[in-house]
């Protein structure tokens, strides 16, 4: 019988401790200011780059550390639990899952060109898959790449392109053959290429949270991509991309858990310190129980994230677990932030108590990278075997 072991290795414990120490050297006021001024946290990213954290998943022969999704999950948890929120996590997680298709399917030359520069943080990435007219139905993307004399010429539009204001490079999915109803996911090609601003127009989308890290609509007009920047096989791009989608669900799930923990820490502290009617408010069960329940739900969601990460790192299928992790984590993270805000009463609504920023940020995870409803569709169809509804 295979051993069942919840014990982290000594190295994983050290990763957890040191990421926490580094992340907590940035104060909650730092994040509040970044959010208020909508400033990209460059000094934060540089600190993580200098200490080598960005290259965590990149193999050692390409300048990284060759660790697994489990270690990256532990890192993102500590980043978010430190109060950095989505504002701090997003700039880091873009070094984790977008390079995965390059690592797994990219040609040797492509890997040599890009992976070492990703590991050092020299490259800043954007992820270009979603389109305004396709949404989760990725097979209907309309961005086209046509091969002309050894170069692809790309035209189209992408939406929810994170980091496009800073990006030097982009992972881009485009149709290289028309959609065939019999094989809708074939005929798309994945590129890892330079973000050429002379051919791409960026329009920022103002949003509920994470003002410091931009989300955008981008318009691509005649972007030229060398053939060498194709990731894997032309026409198989969607399938190559799938390898990064489960880690993306795990990473976003654990971020929601971490944000929930940061909010809960604030809420619990406030419940201990705030005295009304001659007692700390945390002595009232109406305050204590929701906090306790939020903790319990965060624990179980974290376990699910780590199980999915373990499955992925052991090369086992993890679609059901990664989706479930994201579903439960988004609920648990939101609930923890909401309870923490409620515990603060009126002050919860004030920026200087820090929870409102986390509350706004954590709401994202019920929508992205895939909505709760689409996760339930996935589970209904692929786990329970129920007929597809759409």
Partner 1 sequence: MKILVAIKQVPDTATQVKVGADPRLIDTAGITWIVSPYDEFAVEEALRIKEKRGQGEVVAVSLGPERVKEALRSCLAMGCDRALHLNDAAWNGADTLATARALAAVIKQEQPQLVLCGRQAIDDDMGAVTAQLAELLGWPCASWIMEEAVDAEGTTVRAARQVEGGLEVFDLPLPAVLAAQKGLNEPRYPTLKGIMGAKKKEIRDVKAADLGLGAEPSQLSVVGLEALPPRPPGRIIQGDVPTAVKELVRALREDAKAI
Residues that bind partner 1 (CB under 8 A): 10-11, 13-15, 17-18, 21-22, 25, 47, 50-53, 55-56, 65, 67
Residue-by-residue DSSP string for 224-267 = EEEGGGEESSTTBHHHHHHHHHHHHHHHHHHHHHHHHHHHHHHH
- Cα–Cα separations (whole angstroms), residue 20 to 15, 75, 92: 8, 8, 14
Closest distance to partner 1 from the beta carbon of 21 (Å): 6
Q: How far apart are CA 144 and CA 220, in angstroms?
A: 10
Q: How far apart are CA 204 and CA 163, in angstroms?
A: 10
Q: How far apart are CA 5 and CA 10, in angstroms?
A: 14
Measured from the CB atom, the residue of 38 and 276 that comes closer to partner 1 is 276
Q: Which of 205, 215, 214, 220 is nearest to 173 (CA)?
A: 220
Closest distance to partner 1 from the beta carbon of 54 (Å): 9
Closest distance to partner 1 from the beta carbon of 254 (Å): 18
Closest distance to partner 1 from the beta carbon of 269 (Å): 11
Closest distance to partner 1 from the beta carbon of 16 (Å): 10
Q: How far apart are CA 101 and CA 240, in angstroms?
A: 6
Measured from the CB atom, the residue of 103 and 154 that comes closer to partner 1 is 103
Measured from the CB atom, the residue of 26 and 114 that comes closer to partner 1 is 26
For residue 16, count CB atoms less than 10 angstroms from its CB and return exposed for 0-12, middle for 13-18, buried for 19 or more.
middle
Measured from the CB atom, the residue of 157 and 266 that comes closer to partner 1 is 266
Measured from the CB atom, the residue of 25 and 284 that comes closer to partner 1 is 25
Closest distance to partner 1 from the beta carbon of 22 (Å): 5
Q: How far apart are CA 63 and CA 68, in angstroms?
A: 15
Measured from the CB atom, the residue of 74 and 213 that comes closer to partner 1 is 74
């Amino acid at each position: 019988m295979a051993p069942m072991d919840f014990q982290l290795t000594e190295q994983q414990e050290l990763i957890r401790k040191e990421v926490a120490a580094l992340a907590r050297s940035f104060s909650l006021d730092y994040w509040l200011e970044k959010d208020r001024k909508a400033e990209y946290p460059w000094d934060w990213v540089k600190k993580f780059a200098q200490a080598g954290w960005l290259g965590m998943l990149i193999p050692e022969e390409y300048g990284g550390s060759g660790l697994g999704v489990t270690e990256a999950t532990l890192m993102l948890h500590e980043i978010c639990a430190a109060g950095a929120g989505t504002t701090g996590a997003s700039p880091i997680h873009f070094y984790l899952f977008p390079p995965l298709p390059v690592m797994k399917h990219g040609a040797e030359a492509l890997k040599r060109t890009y992976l070492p520069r990703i590991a050092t943080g020299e490259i800043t990435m954007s992820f270009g898959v979603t389109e305004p007219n396709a949404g989760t139905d990725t097979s209907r993307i309309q961005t086209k790449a046509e091969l002309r004399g050894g170069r692809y010429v790309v035209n189209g539009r992408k939406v929810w392109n994170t980091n496009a204001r800073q990006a030097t490079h982009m992972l881009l999915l485009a149709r290289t053959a028309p959609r065939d109803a019999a094989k809708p996911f074939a005929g798309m090609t994945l590129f890892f290429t330079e973000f050429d601003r002379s051919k791409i127009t960026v329009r920022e989308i103002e949003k509920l949270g994470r003002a410091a890290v931009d989300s955008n609509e981008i318009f691509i007009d005649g972007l030229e991509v060398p053939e060498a920047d194709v990731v894997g096989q032309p026409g198989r791009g969607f399938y190559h991309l799938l390898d990064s989608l489960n880690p993306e669900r795990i990473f976003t799930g654990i971020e929601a858990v971490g944000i929930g923990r940061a909010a809960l820490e604030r809420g619990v502290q406030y419940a201990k310190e705030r005295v009304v009617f001659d007692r700390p408010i945390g002595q009232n069960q109406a305050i204590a129980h929701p906090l306790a329940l939020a903790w319990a739900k965060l624990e179980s969601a974290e376990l699910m994230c780590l199980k999915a990460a373990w499955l992925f790192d052991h090369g086992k299928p993890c679609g059901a677990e990664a989706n479930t992790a994201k579903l439960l984590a988004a609920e648990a993270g939101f609930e923890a932030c909401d309870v923490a805000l409620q515990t603060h009463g009126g002050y919860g609504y004030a920026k200087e108590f820090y929870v409102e920023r986390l509350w706004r940020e954590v709401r994202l995870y019920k929508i992205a990278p895939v909505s709760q409803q689409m996760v339930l569709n996935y589970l209904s169809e692929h786990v329970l075997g129920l007929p597809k509804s759409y």
